[in-house]
Structure 1
């Protein structure tokens, strides 16, 4: 993509309404624009990141045996009335009537709908099943703030498991737990699972997943060995029971079982929550199967949520510096920023065109800054949007047979031959 043609409306100054780093940087880099309180349009740069995160989430759900479906955003109120949650959910649910005076709602979650769908499962032989949905949700927050970290409209992956018995439900829960840990590792983040309250969804087994970030919303206390296991992708539900992890409101320093030299405290951002809630929805909504002896059995259920759009903000909170965003390569909108220091110079233009074509043909995503702008503007914009690599082409370097390759995360700059730079970028 040529930056001269790209829709990336950057801002030089921090917007007054942005209170946290991710909100400021997403607005300044032209990733999003607010359309109403807590409701954002995703512009090309931001949408590329969103889609990449979504795809990693999808691949790990598929690998865990879950099957993707797509449920509507608008749900009939009757489903929630059958489960008993319609009157209990609160004002965060956006309720309305259609032209026929039928009560409807914009779904904040989908336990009721997926349970109704899975009434189609009639025999124990058809279990287990895990279905997932990546869809926009709406919760009418009283005070939406912090950009995509606490918006009213958000993209969410929600999965739902259906099993014959509690042992099967636990296996499904374990599969989703592992899928979450793999997902966060692929996103380049360290996630700490914390045992959690089940809240209004109900149930008796639940974990929250917190990405570690200095600007996180809550303090997390945990055994440093838990962090090491998380980075290595070795955590399971059972092994979690061997380690201590607690949110600030549940941490008791006097009763903490972890020796002081192993106890770590860091800020965390919640980006996922999983629940096992048994027959809370299947019984009232009739999601039952015929058992092996002809008996009627209500499905044992769990639900598993990841805030896909929230993850965009969370990754920025965990990975940035004073100049801008630092994207992990797996989710970066482009791998490389190609900077032409002297657009209009025949040698620079020709070299950049050749590099752009060569890398694009080899599948490297390149954002080529071909604008007639000052070098300082180009460098500042590239640092702001945080692509993993920058390749700088200038007349002096070309005359000397070298180009400058910069790693955004480390800040390391190297003057190397063009062949060496291309080999590194296509490795």
Structure 2
């Protein structure tokens, strides 16, 4: 590529709408350009990066028996209705949904479980045809409420999504692990550091999933991990050993007047007690796809917080007959008026808040779903609300004063907690960007969409499924987020749009111009990917642009060309060396081999 004949530009100013470094650099270096909120054009340099990443992904998936296909991006409503996901995704507000000219509902797919299941439904009829692993690389759509960070959270993005079908849990597990290892090889070849963490399956369903996270301060997800490398989990999924409670000094049960103490901090200050001695009771409202609202009361220790994801999973199991959980939130005053009979003693609620406070109304479950977190299940002589404003009870106990609810782990693990696998290890916290996620889905989609096969005995069975996603455009930006300096991007060789940028310092000097063009042709003929900066610009401008766009090696054709020498700069290290013209090709080829090796073990 000759820059003088190419679509190429760079910006000196930082874009006003770019908050994180990788977003700023990709815009400034001319890789992407914003069209609208959450929508970006991938310009020629970025398209080459995307093709590099896709090629590595295809290579690793084909190596383990994956077969590439291409599924429709537009799905009829009835497909998503059959799987039970249409209302759930619409309730989240992330689904692009519209009517066609026949007024039939259509979905722009954010994922393809339904489409792939129906594609194989009339084909995979015998156990002999299993297992099957299909994948695709294509554009996906999510109507993000708050698109931001460039390609990190956009409304239109390129994704690799794969799906597997199995006749046994062991077969599913084998493929799940095999694909996880393939993902790790992809990241290794791209020279990017990724941490695999336990994760929640969310709206995808299934019992087991693993995320692959790039750790960066710009990450939207919190990852908890241990220094020994034996544990890492998304905070939504993380488990830990909570600290022991401070023994209570309230040995007798009494109700006390505690004016102005609706929070744990004000209560503990008023009574000189420790938060670990307090049972706080938190109200939620859960709405299911059947339209039923379930009032929820969670009892948890005063120093702990409720994990909404864990709570959602518990409620989904408890009320599976009401359909899928559509929303879970702490109700505000207006929402409380919709399903309560009067004022609630907020800030002073006890675990036995009466069900009679729930309005007898269609669509409202008549009893609280009472959930007791393990942090309080063995507390003795604890402090809690009295169901009366400005009053608490002290010295309370389970079984005597209050009854335990449904026992579950709904607490939010946090940095500083002890690790379950080794209590000597404490959890550390980091921010991360998810670049891959793999799931064991079970039979949810196959069962609902009618996929069946005949086993060896001729009996009809429902197959198991796995799904495996990797964000291609997000991964490209994550590489930049992890690999840059003050001057610009530092691409790992495997993802770089070009391996070498050949910079002619002075195009007005005929010897430099002629030798630069000759070297460009020679290096290309040798199989190297080369871009030639033959623009009529000052040398300093060209050098800054080379650093900004992040090509791994820069060859400068300058004044030393009269001596048969060029300057070779390694972008990653800044190392400079003078190289004879006759040695340039072999030197670059050797450096590329060495760089590929160092990137893969970084």
- Flag structure 1 segments of 5+ consecutive residues without an equivalent: 227-242
| CA distance in 2: counterparts of 1:258 and 1:310, whole angstroms | 34
Deviations 1:12-61 (A, max 9, x none): 10110111111111111111111121111111011111111111111111
Matches of 1:81 and 1:388 in 2, distance apart?
49
Rounded to whole Å, the distance in 2 between the matches of 1:266 and 1:417 is: 47
Separation in structure 2 between the aligned mates of residue 3 and residue 217 of structure 1, nearest angstrom:
37
Structure 2 distance, partners of 1:157, 1:110, is 11
CA drift at 1:214: 4.8
4+ residue runs over 4 A deviation: 257-266
Q: 1:150-201: per-residue Cα shift (whole Å, max 9, x none)? A: 0000001000010001111111111111111111111111211101000001
Match of 1:106 among 105, 108, 113: 108
- Match of 1:4, SS state, is helix
Q: Which residue of 2 aligns with 1:152?
A: 155
Cα distance in 2, alignment partners of residues 266 and 343 from structure 1: 48
In the TM superposition, 1:321-400 aligns within 5 A as 321-395=485-559, 397-400=560-563
Take 2:225 and 2:564, find their aligned partners in 1: how far apart are those partners? Answer: 51
Task: Call closer, same or farther: CA 1:338–1:151 in 2, change over 3 Å.
Answer: same
What does 1:208-287 correspond to in 2, within 5 Å?
208-224=211-227, 226=229, 243-248=230-235, 250=238, 251-252=413-414, 253-256=416-419, 257=421, 266-287=430-451
1:108-146 C-alpha deviation (Å, 9 max, x unpaired): 100000011110211000000010011101000011111
CA distance 1:221–1:418, shift in 2 (3 Å): farther
Q: How much has 1:72 moved relative to structure 2? A: 1.4
Where does residue 171 of structure 1 map in the other structure?
Answer: 174
Aligned to 1:309: 473
Q: Is the 8 A contact 1:244 1:258 kept in 2?
A: no
Q: After alignment, is 25-34 or 320-329 more displaced? A: 25-34
SS in 1 for 2:444: coil
Q: Partner of 2:569 in structure 1?
A: 406
**Structure 1 counterpart of 2:296:** none
Q: Name the CA shift for 1:135/1:426 in 2 (closer, same or farther; >3 Å).
A: same
1:266 Cα deviation (Å)?
A: 4.3
User: Which residue of 2 is the match for residue 298 of structure 1?
Assistant: 462
C-alpha separation in 2, matches of 1:357 and 1:323: 28
- Residue 326 of structure 1 and its aligned partner are, at CA, apart by 0.3
Aligned residue for 2:432, secondary structure, equals: strand
Q: Deviations over 1:305-359 (max 9, x none)?
A: 0000111110100000111100000010000010001102121112111210111
User: Unaligned 5+ residue runs, structure 2?
Assistant: 239-412, 591-602
Secondary structure of the equivalent of 1:49?
helix
Residues 2 and 533 in structure 2, CA contact (< 8 A), matched pair in contact too = yes
Offset of residue 301 of structure 1 = 0.3
Aligned equivalents of 1:246 and 1:108: distance in 2? 24
Deviation at 1:9, TM superposition (A): 2.3
Q: Aligned to 2:129, which of 108, 126, 129?
A: 126
Q: Flag the 1:58–1:374 CA change in 2: closer, same or farther, 3 A.
A: same
Whole-Å separation in 2 of the counterparts to 1:219 and 1:282: 33
| Aligned-pair CA distance for 1:269 | 1.7
Partner of 1:70: 70
| Displacement after TM superposition at 1:68 (Å) | 0.3
- Report deviation, 1:224: 4.9
Distance, in Å, in 2 between the alignment partners of 1:224 and 1:417 is 47
Q: Is the 8 A contact 2:226 2:428 kept in 1?
A: yes
- Name whichever structure is richer in helix by fraction: 1
CA contact (8 A) 1:215 1:318 kept: no
Residue in structure 2 matching 1:425, options 574, 583, 588: 588
> 2-side partners of 1:115 and 1:297: how far apart?
15
Q: Whole-Å Cα distance in 2 between the matches of residues 263 and 359 of structure 1?
A: 51
Task: Note if contact 1:60-1:179 (Cα within 8 Å) is conserved in structure 2.
Answer: yes
2:11 corresponds to which residue? 11
Is the CA contact 2:503–2:555 (under 8 Å) kept in the aligned structure 1? yes
1:363 offset after TM fit, Å?
1.4
Residue aligning to 2:80: 80
SS of 1:125's partner is helix
Please state how far the C-alpha of 1:216 moved relative to its aligned partner: 3.4
**Counterpart Cα distance in 1 of 2:17 and 2:474:** 18
Could you tell which deviates more after superposition, 254-263 or 24-33? 254-263
**CA deviations over 1:367-392 (Å, ceiling 9, x no partner):** 10001110110001000000000000
SS of the residue corresponding to residue 387 of structure 1 reads coil
Report the alpha carbon displacement of residue 421 of structure 1 after superposing the two structures with TM: 2.7
Where does residue 230 of structure 1 map in the other structure? none
Please give the secondary structure, in 1, of the residue aligned with 2:87: coil
Seen in structure 2, the aligned counterparts of structure 1 residues 98 and 263 have a Cα distance that, compared at 3 Å, is: closer
Distance in 2 of aligned mates of 1:33 and 1:310: 15
Q: TM-score normalized by structure 2?
A: 0.66
Normalising by structure 1, report the TM-score: 0.92
Deviation, 1:418, is 2.1
Query: Which whole-Å CA distance do the structure 1 matches of 2:55 and 2:451 have between them?
Result: 30
